[in-house]
Amino acid sequence: MTENAIRLERRYPHPVEAVWAALTTPELLARWWAPGNIAPVVGHRFIMDMDAWGQQQCEVTAVDPGKSVSFLFSEGQPGHHHYLAPGGRGRRHRPSLRTRWLPVDTPMGRHAIDGMGNGWPGLLARIDGVLAGVS
């Protein structure tokens, strides 16, 4: 973790298309993170039900289909950037997912980073379990 962002990287033994689906398909997103009607379309607004964190108004800010998706939570809260690097052939060349939380310089942004910083490795590990059932 840096002062301004959480940066994580994880490799998956699944096709890059399956990992992309886990990031951008509402049904799969709900299985590893939280329910939300995400769509990989710039400007798309959706709500994520974050339990104790409440209903979060989100907006997709950037998309490179099959490679990256970025979105912001409601104003004053951190944004997320998920970059998917395709693997290649063989076990050593599995696709990797780099996740970065970009907090805004507010007390709420810092609170979100402090609260989720330790939780993200576990969340990213859950993607593997979800994809094991679909890929």
Which residue intervals of 16-106 are DSSP H helices?
A: 16-24, 26-32
Report in angstroms the alpha-carbon separations of 30 from 9, 21, 100, 117: 20, 12, 19, 20
Predicted pLDDT at 133: 80
Could you read off the pLDDT of 15-34 as tens digits, one per residue? 888 989 999 999 999 999 89
pLDDT-derived band at 1 (thresholds 50, 70, 90) equals very low
Residue 52's domain spans which residues?
6-132
Q: Bigger pLDDT: 119 or 37?
A: 37
Which residue did the predictor score with more confidence, 33 or 8?
33
Helices (H), the chain: 16-24, 26-32, 107-116, 120-132
Structure letter (DSSP) for residue 3: S
Question: What's the pLDDT band for 106 if we cut at 50, 70, 90?
Answer: low
Residue 1: inside a domain, yes or no? no
The answer on pLDDT for 122 being more than 90 is no
79 falls within a domain: yes
Q: Is residue 45, in this structure, part of any structural domain at all?
A: yes
CATH number at residue 114: 3.30.530.20
Domain count, the chain: 1
User: Does residue 76 form part of some domain?
Assistant: yes
